[in-house]
Amino acid sequence: METFSDIKIEAATQYQKIRDDFPILKKLVYGKPLIYLDNAATTQKPLQVIKKINDYYTELNSNIHRGVHHLSEKASKEYEDSRNKVRDFINAEKSEEIIFTRGTTVAINLVVSTYGRKNISKGDEIIISTMEHHSNIVPWQMLCEEKGAILKVVPIDDQGDLILEEYVKLFNERTRFVSLVHISNSLGTINPVKELIEIAHKNQVPILIDGAQAIQHMPVDVKELDCDFYVFSAHKLYSPSGVGVLYGKEKFLEAMPPYQGGGDMIRSVTFEKTLYNDLPFKFEAGTPNIEGAIGLGAGIDYLLSVGFDFVMAQENNLLAHATQVLSAIPEVRIIGKALKKSSLISFVVGDIHPHDIGSLLDRQGIAIRTGHHCTQPLMQRFGVPATSRASFSFYNSTEEIDFLAVELKKIIHMFS
């Protein structure tokens, strides 16, 4: 019979194996062991992903979809295999609903420029929220300026939760689209996206969910959520930079015009008329980030091998421990105390500027993020110009958080 001690030993063994998978975690910074707590900005990459990218360049390097030679056929298969992995990972209905982009920002801009330009008119309204990343604010603002449409903003409370009753009130006969974040990159708030989607659909309004901060922390099932669009980036999913995903329901993608013109997005071209390619290629003009997409497939394989049960248990433990340890420091004020949070904490420390905190922690090998985190309206809501943000992955430990707290106390003493 397995005992509690056996379970703890097994978990510790798995954790050490995971640490060994990430070579950068052995790096020294200013002679100190790296403590990487900037995972909301980008996650580190495991050897399995690094090897997959290296294998592409040493064994398969070729353009895809157009060549009949061996390398092109092999590279094309690897690329499309990754698309199928993404489909299965988020439980999409079809591979044709998976569009590879350069990242979350490009995916949102694609929807704005195609669905938005076609369907939004003067006086129409688009709903976003106070906690959105700039990439889910600015493109919609640009569309509103172009079309004479109106941007409506869901407020949040002092804890950092969306005020649902205010969200409901924003809908009217002019509401045409909703675009909301799944998890806030500044607060860690986990929004009740299924409920938000149901409310939008009750009002017959399509909705996009920005999953850049969610996809790596929890299982996402787009069919169960019933979202119309879901977007995320590979580099936050233990995968390469410069590649991302737009999931869209087929009925919307079919009706949307192409985003860019060029190779691979066409069926035939004459000077009189161009016929566009089928999904998903209609939205993938030109040579894509082939190694990035293949690396994303490897990143998904890796995360699934670790298992979301382990990921969620580890990260929830880290969040609880960090909340307890940092809350015990009188000078530290945590910004964002939603009941349901992901594994990050934003905080301010008295009158000490976050950039000073980040620079001094860096000298001790601790990497955190400081600034407005591309959420300036949110910073204004809480009356701060910037925060320090520590964000955790399953490869972090409570000991690293304890060291962060020790160094914060030293900084506070220094400034006092």
Mean pLDDT by 10 residues, the chain (416 residues): 51 86 97 97 98 97 91 96 98 98 98 97 98 98 98 98 98 98 98 98 98 98 98 98 98 95 86 88 94 98 97 97 98 96 97 97 98 95 96 98 98 94
In eight-state DSSP terms, residue 154 is E
* CB 171 within 8 Å of CB 199: yes
Q: How far, in Å, are 8, 69, 71 from residue 63 at the CA level?
A: 48, 10, 8
CATH 3.40.640.10 residue ranges for the chain = 50-304
**Cα torsion at 102, 106, 110, 112 (round to 10°)?**
170
Q: Which residues are catalytic?
A: 374
Closest by CA to 73, choosing from 86, 54, 60, is 60
pLDDT given at position 270? 85
The residues near 119 (Cβ < 8 Å, ≥ 6 apart) are: 176, 177
Amino acid at 389: R
The fold of the 4-33+307-415 domain, in CATH, is Aspartate Aminotransferase, domain 1 (3.90.1150)
pLDDT (tens digit per residue) in 29-59? 999 999 999 999 999 999 999 999 999 999 9
- Show the 3-state SS of 193-247: HHHHHHHHHHCCCCEEEECCCCCCCCCCCHHHHCCCEEEEECCCCCCCCCCEEEE
The residues near 399 (Cβ < 8 Å, ≥ 6 apart) are: none
3-state secondary structure of 35: strand
pLDDT given at position 268? 86
* CB 374 within 8 Å of CB 184: no
* CB 283 within 8 Å of CB 265: yes
Closest by CA to 111, choosing from 221, 248, 222, is 248
In eight-state DSSP terms, residue 260 is S
The structural architecture, per CATH, of the domain 50-304 is 3-Layer(aba) Sandwich (3.40)
pLDDT given at position 4? 42
* Phi, psi angle pair for 364, to nearest 5°: -100, 10
CATH 3.90.1150.10 residue ranges for the chain = 4-33+307-415
pLDDT given at position 152? 98
